[in-house]
A and B are shown apart, each in its own frame.
Chain A
Amino acid sequence: MRKPAESNRRQFIRLAGSAAMLSAAPLTTMRPAEATPAMLAAAIRTVTGAAVVHAGKVKLDVPPLVENGNTVPLTVSVASPMTRDDHVRSIHVFNEKNPQPNIGNFYLGPQAGRAQISTRIRLADSQKIVAIAHLSDGSFWSESADVVVTLAACTEELI
């Protein structure tokens, strides 16, 4: 054990915290086969087919370090005039490491006026989120963001 540079009490707290995390038996969170980058790519292909996905136009608003992985606020907006001839048909959101690659699909249209949706998602681990917009001219645009997710410091039993 290295010589503590900080006060004894401070180290006491830190060790106590890590002991709590190590001894806590996760009663309900079990990770079956995790989604892999291949699953993510396959899920994206289900939406885009063989089309090229361009980077840009899409803005992904998600906190880089989440307060709690159970509820992460997410906003996706797409720069678009939202007219009959030029609008966003749908927005698709994916993730990399949850058990399933899909998060949600949102269907808009010119009547939306603004291509922006907000929701709250669950993230099982630190990972990449990808949002893909399908425009009225058939093109696909995307943006991705890396999110850091930490476990809650003290685990609780299922109450």
Chain B
Amino acid sequence: MRTAVAIVLAMLPIAASTLSATEIPQGERRSGYSFMTPETQAIQNDDTANPGMLWVLDGDALWKKKTGATDKSCADCHDDASISMKGVAARYPAFDRATGHPVNLEQRVNLCRTTHQQATPLAYESRELLALTAVIAAQSRGTAIDAGSDPQLEPFVAKGRALFMLRQGQLNLACANCHDDHWDKHLAGSAITQAQPTGYPLYRLEWQSLGSLQRRLRSCMIGMRAQPFDYGAPELVDLELYLMSRARGMPMESPAVRP
């Protein structure tokens, strides 16, 4: 292990410190779905076999459940989610006028809960929050991603891009090293995808659970031996925003299945 790290460190001067990563041309963009085996794709294709749908079902029930000091449910204001939430997740993270910076879908749900329902915010990666974001995101299935086009989001997209290009952690790797430059090759037995977040929240076979994009980003950072940002950190939202704007035009697949 020490030898491996020593070799890695010795390579550092050779690899340029300023990243000249080439962004993926529009025509070559592919969803993580296309990197999976047909067997795993089959799990996503069938709504009655897709474990992510279990959370969508839960979310359906939670959507109608009255909560908070106001004793209101999401449905009381938003009615039928299949109508009111259609296409919404495809536009997230979105600019929040009250705070002046972007919020992701999880944060929007919690803002709604605290502001309008006077209920306690749900913990990140809790079953309830995953269920609500799953049912909301499912209403965007097939919709083209359209995040980051608001001019007010420009500085945050730029911050996200800078994070994507930033070398970090013990291995001094940037996201772009793998996901812009080496996608479709393999890391050990796993295919390196382009990191297009077309299906979140998704059921990851490795987790055997539904999880958010932030969970995936944190897991990647840990895998890169970098200190992961905390859930809800502005850096993670900026990175989510950049990734979604990078995927603009690609159709949403939530709840997707990924290995």
Residues in B with CB closer than 8 Å to A67 are: 36-37, 39-40, 205, 259
Residues in A with CB closer than 8 Å to B65 are: none
- B-facing mask of A8-19, CB < 8 A → 1, else 0? 111111011111
Taking A8-B14, A154-B223, A156-B219 as contacts, is the C-beta distance between A13 and B177 under 8 angstroms? yes
Asked whether, in the complex, the Cβ of A156 is within 8 Å of the Cβ of B187, the reply is no
Contact with B223, one of A8, A120, A155 (Cβ below 8 angstroms): A155
Asked whether, in the complex, the Cβ of B188 is within 8 Å of the Cβ of A23, the reply is no
Residues in B with CB closer than 8 Å to A8 are: 11, 14-15
Asked whether, in the complex, the Cβ of B11 is within 8 Å of the Cβ of A15, the reply is yes
Asked whether, in the complex, the Cβ of B4 is within 8 Å of the Cβ of A15, the reply is yes
Residues in B with CB closer than 8 Å to A68 are: 40, 205-206, 259
Q: Which of A31-39, A88-96, A145-153 has 4 or more CB atoms under 8 Å from chain B?
A: A145-153
B182 at the interface (CB under 8 A from A): yes
A30 at the interface (CB under 8 A from B): no
Would you give the shortest CB distance from B212 to chain A, in whole angstroms?
11
Asked whether, in the complex, the Cβ of B39 is within 8 Å of the Cβ of A19, the reply is no
Asked whether, in the complex, the Cβ of B8 is within 8 Å of the Cβ of A150, the reply is no
Q: Which of A55-71 contact B (CB under 8 A)?
A: 63, 65, 67-68, 70-71
Residues in B with CB closer than 8 Å to A152 are: 188, 190, 206, 259
B225 at the interface (CB under 8 A from A): yes
With CB as the reference atom, state the residue of chain B lying closest to A10. Answer: B182
CA distance A153 to B205 in the complex (A): 13
Taking A13-B177, A154-B187 as contacts, is the C-beta distance between A20 and B224 under 8 angstroms? yes
Would you give the shortest CB distance from A3 to chain B, in whole angstroms?
13
With CB as the reference atom, state the residue of chain A lying closest to B181. Answer: A9
- A-facing mask of B73-111, CB < 8 A → 1, else 0? 000000000000000000000000000000000000000
Taking A8-B14, A67-B259, A150-B188 as contacts, is the C-beta distance between A19 and B37 under 8 angstroms? no
- The A/B interface has a contact count, at CB < 8 Å, of 104
Contact with A9, one of B15, B42, B190, B218 (Cβ below 8 angstroms): B15
A5 at the interface (CB under 8 A from B): no
A103 at the interface (CB under 8 A from B): no
B171 at the interface (CB under 8 A from A): yes
Asked whether, in the complex, the Cβ of A13 is within 8 Å of the Cβ of B178, the reply is yes
Taking A13-B182, A16-B173 as contacts, is the C-beta distance between A150 and B224 under 8 angstroms? no
B25 at the interface (CB under 8 A from A): no
- A-facing mask of B123-141, CB < 8 A → 1, else 0? 0010000000000000000
Residues in A with CB closer than 8 Å to B178 are: 13
Q: Which of B184-231 contact A (CB under 8 A)?
A: 185-190, 205-206, 208, 215, 218-220, 222-225
A137 at the interface (CB under 8 A from B): no
Taking A8-B11, A19-B171 as contacts, is the C-beta distance between A153 and B223 under 8 angstroms? yes
With CB as the reference atom, state the residue of chain B lying closest to A22. Answer: B1
Residues in B with CB closer than 8 Å to A20 are: 171, 223-225
A73 at the interface (CB under 8 A from B): yes
Residues in A with CB closer than 8 Å to B233 are: none
Residues of A within 8 A of B (CB): 1, 8-13, 15-24, 63, 65, 67-68, 70-71, 73, 120, 150-157, 159
Residues of B within 8 A of A (CB): 1, 4-5, 7-8, 11, 14-15, 36-37, 39-40, 42-43, 125, 170-171, 173, 177-178, 181-182, 185-190, 205-206, 208, 215, 218-220, 222-225, 259
Closest 4 CB pairs of A and B: A154-B223, A150-B189, A68-B205, A153-B188
24 contacts between A and B (CB under 8 A): A9-B15, A11-B11, A15-B11, A16-B171, A19-B171, A24-B223, A63-B37, A63-B39, A65-B189, A67-B259, A68-B40, A68-B205, A68-B206, A71-B43, A152-B190, A153-B188, A153-B189, A154-B220, A154-B222, A154-B223, A154-B224, A155-B223, A159-B215, A159-B219
New A-B contacts (6) at CB < 8 Å, excluding given A13-B182, A68-B259, A157-B222: A19-B171, A23-B5, A23-B170, A155-B222, A156-B223, A159-B219
